[in-house]
Structure 1
Amino acid sequence: MIFAAGLLVGLTGLVPAASAASCWDLWYERNAIYDRNGYCFSTNLGQRTFNNADCWTRNPTLSQWEQRRVAQIQAEERRRGCKVNN
């Protein structure tokens, strides 16, 4: 699996949240959506991973698709008990 344009992509296309290889993959995809929308990360991991140099907001506006995808990822993170950045 690779990341393309911030999305987790497998050989056959976008990978459903439940198919993500790890909690890290889920965390990364979710936060990549926020990063693309100018989110300024407050955690050390978020800042190290996404670099706040080009951020402009703590309250990004997400498209409907992005909102649904974030909700799907968060549901899968809860289901798995993920604790990547806690």
Structure 2
Amino acid sequence: MRSRLLMFVGAVSVAAAGTVMAVPAHAGVCSDLWVQRNAIYKANGYCFKTRKAINYFGNAGCLYDNAATMPMSGADKGRVLVIKKREKQLGCL
């Protein structure tokens, strides 16, 4: 009976460890991409709406409430599109 209990506890421990390890390997990449994309928005005067973005970037000096209609250079627009595509591929968005 004791050996069965120990085997059960061991199996539960292994299962729990597997759950902890279930964080996607690309989680850090998603975070980096989020920062890169939003840094472009910040540089172009975007007014952030989410608490996370406001805490990270702030809204001082912001000018535009809509990222889709915010004036940006072609290079910035292209970079945002590339970042969003990668975020979608990784399941970040």
TM-score (norm 2): 0.64
Q: Distance in 2 between matches of 1:78 and 1:57?
A: 24
Q: Would you tell me which structure has more helix in proportion to its own residues?
A: 2
Which structure is larger by alpha-carbon Rg, 1 or 2?
Answer: 2
Match of 2:74 in 1: 64
TM-score (norm 1): 0.69
Q: Distance in 2 between matches of 1:53 and 1:66?
A: 20
Unaligned runs of 5+ in 2: 1-27
Match of 1:25 in 2: 32
Pair 1:55-2:62 in alignment:
yes
% identical aligned pairs: 43
Match of 1:74 in 2: 84
Superposition CA RMSD, Å: 1.1
Which stretches of structure 1, 4 residues or longer, exceed 2 Å deviation after superposition?
Answer: none
